[in-house]
Chains A and B, each alone.
Chain A
Amino acid sequence: MKNGLAISVSDLTKRFGDFTAVDAITFDVKKGEIFGFLGANGAGKTTAMRMLCGLSLPTSGKAIVAGFDLYKESEKIKKSIGYMSQKFSLYEDLTIRENNRFYGGIYGLTDRQIKDKTSFMLEHLKLESQADTLVKALPLGWKQKLSFSVSMIHDPQIVFLDEPTGGVDPVTRREFWTMIYEAAHRGTTVFVTTHYMDEAEYCDRVSIMVDGKIEAMDKPAELSKQFNAKGMAEVFVQLARKAKRSDN
Chain B
Amino acid sequence: MKQFLYFIRKEFYHLLRDRRTLFILFGMPVTQILIFGFALTNEVKNSRIAILDNSKDEATKTIIHQLEASRYFDIVEYLHSYAELEPTFQEGKIRLAVVFPEQFQASLLHTNAAPIQLIADATDPNVANTLTNYASAIIMDYQSAMKETQDFPYTITTELRMLYNPQLKGSYNFVPGVMAMVLMLVGAMMTSISIVREKELGTMEVILASPIVPINVIIAKMVPYLLLSMVNIASILLLSVFVLDVPINGSLSLLVFECFLFTLTALALGLLISSISDSQQVAMLVSLMGLFLPTIMFSGFMFPVENMPIPLQVLSNLVPAKWFYYIVKDVMIKGTGLETVWKETLILFGMLIFLLTISIKKFKVRLE
Contact = CB atoms under 8 A, between A and B. Distances in A.
B201 A79 contact: no
Interface string A11-54: 00000100000000000000000000000000000000010011
A102 B10 contact: yes
Nearest to A86: B202
Given A91-B10, A94-B13, A108-B3, A50 B367 contact: yes
Contacts of A107: 210-211
A106 B9 CA distance: 12
A81 B2 contact: no
B119 interface: no
A106 B18 CA distance: 23
A53 B209 contact: yes
B326 to A, nearest CB: 40
B205 interface: yes
Contact of A75 (B5, B206, B211): B211
B305 to A, nearest CB: 42
A93 B18 contact: yes
A134 B17 CA distance: 10
Contacts of A134: 17
B209 A93 contact: no
A78 B207 CA distance: 10
A138 interface: no
B206 A83 contact: yes
Contact of A57 (B6, B207, B366): B366
Interface string B187-209: 00000000000000111011111
A102 B18 CA distance: 18
Interface in B336-368: 366-368
B238 interface: no
A89 B205 contact: yes
Contact of A87 (B9, B18, B201, B366): B201
Contacts of A87: 201-202, 205
Interface string B1-41: 01101110110011001100000000000000000000000
B312 interface: no
B209 A16 contact: no
A91 B209 CA distance: 16
B13 A105 contact: no
Residue among A92, A94, A105, A151 facing the most chain B CB atoms (10 A cut-off): A105
A106 B203 contact: no
Contact of A106 (B14, B207, B366, B367): B207
B302 interface: no
A143 interface: no
B368 A56 contact: yes
A91 B14 contact: yes
B13 A98 contact: yes
Q: Is the interface of B mostly helix, strand, loop or mixed?
A: helix
Contacts of A81: 209
A189 B6 CA distance: 28
B2 A105 contact: yes
Contacts of B18: 93
B212 interface: yes
Nearest to A87: B202
Contacts of B205: 55, 83, 85, 87, 89
Contacts of A84: 206
B66 to A, nearest CB: 63
Given A55-B209, A87-B205, A89-B202, A105 B366 contact: no
A75 B14 CA distance: 27
Contact of B14 (A86, A89, A93, A103): A93
A176 to B, nearest CB: 18
Contact of B206 (A16, A57, A85, A92): A85
A108 B368 contact: no
Contacts of B367: 50, 55-56
Contacts of A88: 201-202
25 contacts: A53-B209, A54-B366, A55-B209, A56-B367, A56-B368, A57-B366, A75-B211, A79-B211, A83-B210, A84-B206, A85-B209, A89-B205, A89-B206, A93-B17, A98-B10, A98-B13, A101-B6, A101-B9, A102-B6, A103-B206, A105-B2, A105-B6, A105-B7, A106-B3, A106-B212
Given A57-B366, A79-B211, A107-B211, 15 more contacts: A55-B208, A55-B366, A56-B368, A78-B209, A83-B206, A83-B209, A89-B203, A89-B205, A91-B10, A93-B18, A94-B10, A94-B14, A102-B6, A102-B7, A102-B10
Closest 10 A/B residue pairs (Cβ): A87-B202, A105-B6, A83-B209, A89-B206, A78-B211, A53-B209, A79-B211, A93-B17, A85-B205, A102-B10
